[in-house]
Amino acid sequence: MRAQKSTLRVIIHLMKNNYCTIYLIRHGRTDWNDKKLIQGHLNIPLNSEGKTTAKELAQELKKINFDKVYSSDLLRAKQTAEIIALEQELVVEITQALRERNFGSFQGKPREHLKEIDKVLETLTDEERYSYTHNGIVESDEEIMTRFMIFIREIAIVNLGKTILVATHGGIIRAFLIHLGILDYTGIKGRLEIKNLAFVKFESDGVDFVIKETSGIEKKTRE
């Protein structure tokens, strides 16, 4: 009987180690969020509100023992990751793979300028929309998911049985949920709001992805 219980405990332990648990989080607030300016690859820092709320989230996540922390190399995401990592005395590893979409010449302009792109997207099928890059200067969902998925699969495989924090951007999270089939373009035709410090908790073995929890992600109708 003791041998059977011991074997059962080993099996349960192995099953738990089959997946990496990942918290995919959007960065805190910036002045450009407040001004509704397109940030893209521009290196915009957190504002005072962003730093304060990131510290609050760090306290909320304190009970979770993260093994590693990864971040986009853009300052707003890196600062967010560092605030949370500081609470657990972890080093933040940065990568360009987690960067926001490159908006090209639209970067630094009011978000209203993206209506030009929205008009084109509304004429496309879901397949066309996924690979659409506006005038060759705006990264498509396909392009940002190519770099993101390569990275996320790799860290899942090398961190099986561990819990990881990944700080990134709203565009990445939105495209990721579409890529997995959790959302579709028709379903978010109005507007999908991914709030600052929103996160998606999921499990992965590098092949499969299972969403366990979301926070700060809401569907809104157009204003």
Three-class DSSP category at 92: strand
Among 27, 82, 139, 169, the one annotated catalytic: 27
Measure CA of the first residue to CA of the last residue in the chain; give whole Å.
65
Instruction: Please pick, among 49, 82, 100, 128, the residue that the annotation labels catalytic.
Output: 100
Is 142 one of the annotated active-site residues of the chain? no
CB under 8 Å to 145, separation ≥6 — which residues? 175, 176, 179
Strands 163-168 and 209-220, by their bridges, are unpaired
Give the HSE-up count for residue 157: Cα atoms under 13 Å, Cβ half-sphere.
8
179 catalytically annotated: no
Beta partners for residue 201, in sequence order: 23, 213
Tell me the β-bridge partners of 164. 22, 68
Distance CA 106, CA 148 (A): 22
DSSP classification of residue 201? E
**Which residues are known catalytic residues?**
27, 100
